[in-house]
């Protein structure tokens, strides 16, 4: 599957997981949910999460390769962030999309770690 398609899917999956997480921890007002979710789903936040997963040695070699493929894919640049951050966030989203399709148990493990 095209790596950018995986990133597209991963973006939606991560957003949904974050929203569910915020509801589960007791945030009940939509305005508060929106403000809190931005703290997780922005490109900068995704890169911070990705860097922590890498630094802590949590990602497997195969997962790092998927991140690299996503990071290196030719895509347009976001107007809201720099190109390096955007590409790294795309790599993170590609990994989420890949795991959603291929290994939901591993996806759950990584997302729980990411949202600690």
Distance CA 3, CA 69 (A): 7
Neighbouring C-beta atoms of residue 48, cutoff 10 Å: 17
Residue pair 13/100 in contact (Cβ under 8 Å)? The answer is yes
Active-site residue 56, yes or no? no
**CA-based radius of gyration for the chain:** 14
Q: Which of 11, 32, 61, 82 is catalytic?
A: 11
> Which tokens hold the place of 75?
């895509």
Q: How far apart are CA 113 and CA 29, in angstroms?
A: 25
Active site residues: 11
């Amino acid at each position: 599957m095209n790596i950018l398609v995986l990133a597209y899917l991963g973006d939606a999956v991560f957003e949904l997981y974050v929203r569910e997480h915020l509801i589960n921890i007791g945030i009940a007002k939509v305005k508060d949910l929106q403000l809190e979710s931005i703290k997780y789903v922005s490109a900068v936040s995704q890169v911070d999460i990705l860097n922590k997963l890498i630094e802590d040695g949590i990602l497997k070699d195969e997962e790092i390769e998927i991140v690299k493929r996503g990071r290196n894919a030719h895509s347009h640049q976001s107007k809201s962030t720099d190109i390096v951050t955007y590409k790294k966030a795309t790599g993170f989203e590609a990994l989420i999309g890949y795991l959603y399709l291929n290994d939901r148990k591993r996806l759950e493990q990584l997302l729980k770690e990411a949202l600690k």
